[in-house]
Structure 1
Amino acid sequence: MATSKGTHDEPPVSPYSDLPEVVQDDFLPSYDSVVRNDLLRQTTAVRDDGRIDVDLNSRFCRTLSRFIPDVKTPLSELDTPSPQYCAELGGSPVSSWFPIKLNIVIQVVGSRGDVQPFVALGNELQKHGHRVRLATHNVFDSFVRDAGLEFYPIGGNPSELMAYMVRNPGLIPSLKTLRGGEIQRKREMVAEMLNGCWQSCLEPDLVSGRPFVADAIIANPPSFAHVHCAQAMKIPVHLMFTMPWTSTTAFSHPLANLKFGEKAGMSPETANYVSYSVVEWLTWQGLGDVINDWRKSIELEPVPVSEGPLLAETLKIPFTYCWSPALVSKPRDWPSYIDVCGFFFREPPNYTPPTDLADFLAQGPPPIYIGFGSIVIDDPETMTKILVEAVRQTGVRAIISKGWSNLGGVEEKNVFFLGDCPHEWLFAHVTAVFHHGGAGTTACGLLNGRPTTVVPFFGDQPFWGEMVAASGAGPHPIHHKRLNVQNLSEAIRFCLTPEAAQAAAGLALKMKAENGVVTAARSFHANLPLENLQCDILKDQPAAWMWKRGKRQIRLSKMAAGVLFQHLKVDPKKTYLNETKVIRIVNRRWDPVTGTTSALLGTSTDMAKATADVVMKPIRTYQQRKAADDAMNELARSPATGSRPATIPHGTAPHGRGCMSTAGALASASASGVGGFFKSYGRGFYLDIPLAVTEGFRAVPKLYGERVPEQEPVEDWQSGARVAGTNFVRGMSEGLSDLVVQPYKGGKEGGALGAAKGVGKGLLGMTSKTVSGICSLLAYSK
């Protein structure tokens, strides 16, 4: 088992550290009103290798650290441990049977190595009777269908995506990328994939035409649409990934380099936790506006800028990590709805090697394997020379995979350049593996007990390289830009040592006792809301409708509802959509200053847009009318059948009436802009801003470590009145009591100095809580 405390180094200043100053408005969102670009610039810098230097002494990091859970909390006070199914090793060919047959869509963005584990998961879910659709890039159509799964294309080109990620790891664009316009094409690709993911939840099968509506969503985080699709459809969503995506004190974000200054004032554990927030903020800054524009198209409100980062954590979305707990154990601060279940392995394919490969293997001792899979290498010729020369100097035999970069073109008797070949078969015939560090390739090599060297390019690859090194099964990773004949030769010699072979064999023994796919299926089923999902009549079908019969509510599947409708046992007017899992995104406030400022700027932006619409809407309306008139005139002038002139279609207005109609449409469009202005003004100054003030003051105690209780969602005037009354009573009572309680607690823990601090906390608590309580009567009761 290996653990890591993150990368805490002092790297040189990146030449791209001033990147936010040169980013054009077209490339980044315009709503970074609270966390400005200059604040993030002071916090982070992007290095040449795309990793992110996080300055822990910055104001942004210090502010985030105040919201980190106490890492010294006793284990008994943490969330309950993972259910027993996660501790079980191995398992039957089919995990414990799930009673309901669901339509499940699996949304995956990435390379074939990212898609392949979910193919294995889909096949496992099919054993439970589920209908499984895998939605991913168009190029994987045959790969998915050949595995027996339904396929839905979401667009996007994985080779372009991989090439972009190599040049811009972590979605942080370099100056060269910005000048070339590549970031804009990447954003367009993300928009296309968002639409594709939404359609994959609703559209019929493109081959058979069989209708499909998803009952649940499984997704990897880079698909980005998962939570939003689930919110719109009110169905459960479960995330699965091979890369740490959840904040933890155990290790830093795989893309972050933590820089401790003299005044950082935070422990390494807290710094690890903060690194996830910083990377999430940067990613959301680049894609948040694309996601929010798409949300409008599916009738969802935009996600507030403060909620977009770490959205899955805030909503407590179930998460399954697809790596072996023998390699990286589950961090102790991850809650029970997050599991580490083991790597996903597919059934080994039937494979017969071509004659030339079989002959090469038989001609000498087992070779090593070198390959970079779907990675697109900028200079494949130079890479080939490095690999061949290292093999020559170490005196080993090697199989080098050509991959997407088409390595090769060099004649060497001890080197065999290989095309496509399943790793499950190949790795059983080699002595060590050298690759890019994709989770699937890493898992396959370790399962076969092969010492491993990782040459990372981007993403989670450095993370896996460090984990392998920590286990003793390989050397520290060698970044592809630093790869040369000397360090590769040293890595080859390391992997051929008895110590590396013994460490790899120990890991393989533990991994063979696990069954990641079966355990992941258990994790998925265990986190489903069974009480809201099951039909009350046909127990093996999911409920789609709710029927209210007197005071009783009965959940009905589509089939049960159809039968009851047909036989007049149920009035369709008394049924409504069953909401299996309701997701509410609440705009949480950090403090009254940023909360009020954010609401004020948001209101000002909406009013400015509405003011512009007073002019722009009539222009757009005129252009649309003119285009329609031009098309009609063209139709009137076009030759008709025979020698008779073309006639104007029935219903076309005379010219004078058409002009009046156009003028009326223009006036109506302008009036809608005026209406939008007053609507934005009313909502902002009578709802959003008072609510921001109330919740901002309510959040103040978090700044000095006090827990602020959650409150029920406000959906109507009744729930609003309850929340207002509860917050008023709590605010007044706790605010006044803080004047006594806080100095007493401070004095008991820290003597006179603690008592003085307690007086300050008491005064601050009294002010914030009473103001929040009074304002809540106005903010929540509307």
Structure 2
Amino acid sequence: MRLSIVTFGSEGDTRPLAALCRGLLDRGHDLTLFAEHSTLSLPRSLGIPCEALSGDVRSALPIADPRQDLHLSDVFRSIKAVNAVIAENSASWLRTVAPHARESDAILFSSLGSGVGGALAAQLHKPLIGLFFQPITPTRCFSSPMLPPMNLPGWANRLTFKPAHAQAWKICGRPAQEARREVFGTRDDTRLRFDHPMLFGVSRELVAQPDDWPDDHRICGHWSRTDVTWQAPGDLLEFLAAGEPPIYAGFGSPSAFIRRKALGALIDAVAGRRAVFSPGWSRIDASVLPKNFFIVRDVPHEWLFPRMSMVIHHGGAGTTHTAARAGVPQIVLPIGADHHFWAHRIALRGAAPKYPRNGRFSSKAVAALIDFAQRDETRMCARDLGAAMAREDGVGNAIREIERLVSPQARSHEALRVDSRARVAAKGLWFSIATD
């Protein structure tokens, strides 16, 4: 089986796919992973065939001086910058992926590669499979993961997915269709579709399989590798060996929105405890940190988190799952996107305190969250959750689904593209998952 796998974004978008790709290669399949160039170090270290896509989200973001206050205009400028990267590079992405995709049995897409993956599949008449880390298929069971959790009736929960899908079309779908016209001379104005298989690298311990999803939309379990071999630098090993397990604090790519005032609140809340801090995409000056903070940068979370006493983070899907799998308590301080969803899900399992809905990042509030995370019952819940997730085979489940969907013995390409409205009607649901 030959596969083209397309994504674009940050490390958090590529790392789970690297685990899945390595598993597919170990099963004897052929593939190439197409992703943003700065995220390919891990896939290449795992021996995964890769090709870099043009564009750089991190460089394009207008990351302000952390000493300045954060304004709503900064967020809008960042969204506009990401949109520009996609619009400016979609044609290049099509040209890069198309030669491999023509010889592939299927195109798999994820994250900001969604529009290009869909456009290529339509142009080349290839089966299409989505790979996602948030349960974005509409359901009555919960509201859209791209919004803060809401207590709504089932029919209203389904409605909450439509705005996010419309926004996804605007960001990814429309530029891809314009690029398709430029590269191939054809265009399809159909909105981003969900009438194809969708596999989710999400733990069933955090999100159960909704009973109103199509049969080929599957919660597989988290996609990660536990056999991480990484040589830690000597100074990090010395710090870890010098005392009790430290607190980890890091906010990944959204750390671009962290300001010094918030960092000061975190430092005060840690109150002299040993801590490991990852600055992520921020421009925080390490010299402002006290001596009890140890700075790390490119450290595999799978290696680091089991050595921590707790993990303080923004609530990204990958960080949440990796910390949960490590069996340590978490403190989630959501910044945006799906962060509130994962903060809520991990709190439901008792492995984290409820996140502050007012968004306050004060030292007093964070100190109270740290106290909660240090409780014996919180630690026990975190250990139980980690043990349960260790029994999952997320990569194996996804591979079996892909083989079932794409292999010559599986159903035909036409069967993979059953009209979404017909499928929804067959399930007795009134709300279409199309976004037109």
TM over 0.5: yes
Q: Secondary structure at the match of 1:527?
A: helix
Give the aligned partner of residue 19 of structure 2. Answer: 120
Q: Structure 1's 161 and 220: CA in aligned 2 closer, same or farther, altered over 3 A? A: farther
The C-alpha deviation readout for 1:370-391, integer Å capped at 9, x for no partner, is 1112334345433332221111
Higher normalized contact order (CA 8 Å, seq sep 6+, divided by chain length): 2
Q: Distance in 1 between matches of 2:429 and 2:287?
A: 65
Of the three residues 268, 286, 290, the one matched with 1:389 is 268
Q: What code does the residue aligned with 2:266 have?
A: L
Q: Secondary structure at the match of 1:409?
A: helix
Q: Distance in 2 between matches of 1:480 and 1:358?
A: 38
The CA deviation at 1:216 is 1.1
Q: Distance in 1 between matches of 2:204 and 2:418?
A: 32
The question of 1:300 aligning with 2:186 is answered yes
Q: Secondary structure at the match of 1:396?
A: coil
Q: Secondary structure at the match of 1:472?
A: coil
Of the three residues 201, 204, 228, the one matched with 2:97 is 201
The CA deviation at 1:355 is 3.0
The question of 1:279 aligning with 2:169 is answered no
Q: Distance in 1 between matches of 2:418 and 2:94?
A: 19
Give the aligned partner of residue 108 of structure 2. Answer: 218
Q: Secondary structure at the match of 2:98?
A: coil
The C-alpha deviation readout for 1:642-690, integer Å capped at 9, x for no partner, is xxxxxxxxxxxxxxxxxxxxxxxxxxxxxxxxxxxxxxxxxxxxxxxxx
Give the aligned partner of residue 511 of structure 1. Answer: 389
Of the three residues 160, 170, 193, the one matched with 1:312 is 193
Q: Structure 1's 215 and 521: CA in aligned 2 closer, same or farther, altered over 3 A? A: same
The CA deviation at 1:230 is 0.9
Of the three residues 79, 83, 86, the one matched with 1:187 is 83
Give the aligned partner of residue 469 of structure 1. Answer: 347
Of the three residues 177, 201, 204, the one matched with 1:322 is 201
Q: What code does the residue aligned with 1:194 have?
A: S
Q: Distance in 2 between matches of 1:338 and 1:584?
A: 13
Q: Distance in 2 between matches of 1:478 and 1:300?
A: 49
The CA deviation at 1:144 is 2.8
In the alignment, is the contact (CA less than 8 A) between 1:432 and 1:450 conserved in 2?
Answer: yes
In the alignment, is the contact (CA less than 8 A) between 1:162 and 1:374 conserved in 2?
Answer: no
Q: Distance in 2 between matches of 1:337 and 1:189?
A: 32
Q: What code does the residue aligned with 1:122 have?
A: C
The C-alpha deviation readout for 1:589-645, integer Å capped at 9, x for no partner, is xxxxxxxxxxxxxxxxxxxxxxxxxxxxxxxxxxxxxxxxxxxxxxxxxxxxxxxxx
In the alignment, is the contact (CA less than 8 A) between 1:252 and 1:276 conserved in 2?
Answer: yes
Q: Secondary structure at the match of 1:482?
A: coil
Give the aligned partner of residue 340 of structure 1. Answer: 219
In the alignment, is the contact (CA less than 8 A) between 1:447 and 1:507 conserved in 2?
Answer: yes
Of the three residues 208, 226, 233, the one matched with 2:124 is 233
The question of 1:270 aligning with 2:155 is answered yes
Q: Structure 1's 128 and 287: CA in aligned 2 closer, same or farther, altered over 3 A? A: closer
Q: Distance in 2 between matches of 1:434 and 1:706?
A: 40
In the alignment, is the contact (CA less than 8 A) between 2:256 and 2:283 conserved in 1?
Answer: no
Q: What code does the residue aligned with 1:131 have?
A: D
In the alignment, is the contact (CA less than 8 A) between 2:19 and 2:223 conserved in 1?
Answer: yes
The CA deviation at 1:411 is 5.2
Q: Secondary structure at the match of 1:109?
A: coil
Q: What code does the residue aligned with 2:319 have?
A: T
Give the aligned partner of residue 433 of structure 2. Answer: none
Q: Secondary structure at the match of 1:434?
A: strand
1:341-740 aligned within 5 A: 341-378=220-257, 380-392=259-271, 396-407=273-284, 408-410=286-288, 412-478=290-356, 482-528=360-406, 530-531=408-409, 580-581=413-414
The CA deviation at 1:486 is 1.0
Q: Structure 1's 355 and 213: CA in aligned 2 closer, same or farther, altered over 3 A? A: same
Q: What code does the residue aligned with 1:519 have?
A: N
Q: Distance in 1 between matches of 2:243 and 2:52?
A: 45
Give the aligned partner of residue 132 of structure 1. Answer: 31
Q: What code does the residue aligned with 1:129 have?
A: G
In the alignment, is the contact (CA less than 8 A) between 1:452 and 1:474 conserved in 2?
Answer: yes
The CA deviation at 1:514 is 0.9
Q: Structure 1's 183 and 319: CA in aligned 2 closer, same or farther, altered over 3 A? A: closer
Q: Secondary structure at the match of 1:256?
A: coil
In the alignment, is the contact (CA less than 8 A) between 1:456 and 1:462 conserved in 2?
Answer: yes
Q: Distance in 2 between matches of 1:462 and 1:115?
A: 21
The C-alpha deviation readout for 1:138-166, integer Å capped at 9, x for no partner, is 223444322212222222213157769xx
In the alignment, is the contact (CA less than 8 A) between 1:105 and 1:200 conserved in 2?
Answer: no
Q: Structure 1's 215 and 259: CA in aligned 2 closer, same or farther, altered over 3 A? A: closer
Q: Distance in 2 between matches of 1:584 and 1:300?
A: 20
Q: Secondary structure at the match of 1:491?
A: helix
Give the aligned partner of residue 622 of structure 1. Answer: none
Q: Distance in 1 between matches of 2:150 and 2:381?
A: 32
Q: Distance in 2 between matches of 1:285 and 1:581?
A: 27
Q: Structure 1's 518 and 193: CA in aligned 2 closer, same or farther, altered over 3 A? A: farther
Q: What code does the residue aligned with 1:189 have?
A: V
In the alignment, is the contact (CA less than 8 A) between 2:90 and 2:175 conserved in 1?
Answer: no
Q: Distance in 1 between matches of 2:209 and 2:374?
A: 30
Q: Distance in 2 between matches of 1:415 and 1:586?
A: 54
Q: Distance in 2 between matches of 1:295 and 1:478?
A: 44
In the alignment, is the contact (CA less than 8 A) between 2:129 and 2:196 conserved in 1?
Answer: yes
Q: What code does the residue aligned with 2:188 have?
A: P
The C-alpha deviation readout for 1:532-590, integer Å capped at 9, x for no partner, is 89xxxxxxxxxxxxxxxxxxxxxxxxxxxxxxxxxxxxxxxxxxxxx9558879898xx
The CA deviation at 1:403 is 2.3
Q: Structure 1's 385 and 227: CA in aligned 2 closer, same or farther, altered over 3 A? A: same
Identity %: 29
Larger radius of gyration between Structure 1 and Structure 2? 1
The C-alpha deviation readout for 1:212-269, integer Å capped at 9, x for no partner, is 7322111114312222211111111111111121000111012336899xxxxxx611
Deviates more, 1:141-150 or 1:448-457: 141-150
Q: Structure 1's 453 and 246: CA in aligned 2 closer, same or farther, altered over 3 A? A: same
The C-alpha deviation readout for 1:291-321, integer Å capped at 9, x for no partner, is 33223233433324xxx1xx432xx211111
User: Which sections of structure 1, spanning at least 5 residues, go unmatched?
Assistant: 1-101, 165-172, 205-210, 261-266, 534-578, 589-701, 708-782
Give the aligned partner of residue 629 of structure 1. Answer: none
Q: Distance in 1 between matches of 2:92 and 2:169?
A: 20
Q: Which runs of 4+ in 1 moved over 6 A?
A: 161-164, 582-588
Q: Distance in 2 between matches of 1:456 and 1:251?
A: 18
Q: What code does the residue aligned with 1:450 have?
A: V
Q: Distance in 2 between matches of 1:454 and 1:495?
A: 11
Q: Structure 1's 529 and 129: CA in aligned 2 closer, same or farther, altered over 3 A? A: closer
The C-alpha deviation readout for 1:498-524, integer Å capped at 9, x for no partner, is 111111111111111111111111111
RMSD (Å), alpha carbons: 3.2
In the alignment, is the contact (CA less than 8 A) between 2:18 and 2:42 conserved in 1?
Answer: no
Q: Structure 1's 299 and 129: CA in aligned 2 closer, same or farther, altered over 3 A? A: farther
| Length, aligned pairs only | 416
